[in-house]
């Protein structure tokens, strides 16, 4: 099975720009989270800007000399499996993917753990989209 990194990236960006990423529930859940952070799908980075739990930007690529607080890096296979409507055991969660060696976390890990449920919910938003 070939997993297209560009298709996954487009799916991720379109989901984070959609109304599903702009709900009051999600904003309230992440109200204390403000950061520029990166999600890497294979070799493609996406810069996400979040202010008080509201996603204010999601762009493919990284500007030069841009500082970020956190990076969540996964293989295309990891994101593909995570975003299935019913992921298989061992592919259903970012920590399960980390344990498999399919995902890595870099940067301010304290920030990541302090806002874990919010970040997991943001990263799982494409799961609700059709494949």
Q: How many CA atoms lie less than 13 Å away from 108 in the CB half-sphere?
A: 16
Q: Which residues of the chain have pLDDT under 50?
A: 1, 131
Name the pTM for this structure: 0.92
**Domains contained in the chain, number:** 1
In a domain, 92, yes or no: yes
Expressed as residue numbers, the domain containing 99 is 5-123
In a domain, 129, yes or no: no
What per-residue confidence (pLDDT) applies to 65?
83
Closest CA to 129 of 80, 72, 95: 80
In a domain, 128, yes or no: no
Instruction: Write phi, then psi, for 108 (nearest 5 degrees).
Output: -80, 90
In a domain, 23, yes or no: yes
Model confidence over 93-127: pLDDT tens digits? 999 999 999 999 999 999 999 999 999 999 999 99
Sorted by sequence, the CB contacts under 8 Å of residue 51 that are 6+ apart come out as 34
What per-residue confidence (pLDDT) applies to 64?
83
What per-residue confidence (pLDDT) applies to 113?
96
CATH number at residue 91: 3.30.1050.10
Closest CA to 36 of 66, 10, 12, 11: 66
């Amino acid at each position: 099975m070939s997993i297209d990194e560009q298709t996954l990236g487009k799916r991720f960006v379109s989901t984070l720009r959609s109304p599903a990423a702009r709900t009051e529930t999600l904003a309230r859940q992440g109200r204390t989270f403000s950061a520029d952070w990166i999600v890497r799908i294979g070799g493609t980075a996406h810069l996400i800007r979040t202010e008080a739990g509201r996603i204010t930007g999601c762009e493919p690529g990284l500007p030069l000399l841009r500082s970020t607080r956190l990076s969540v890096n996964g293989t295309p296979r990891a994101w593909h499996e995570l975003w299935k409507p019913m992921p298989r055991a061992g592919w259903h969660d970012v920590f399960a993917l980390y344990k498999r060696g399919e995902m890595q976390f870099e940067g301010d890990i304290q920030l990541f753990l302090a806002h874990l449920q919010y970040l997991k919910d943001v990263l799982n938003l494409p799961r609700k989209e059709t494949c």
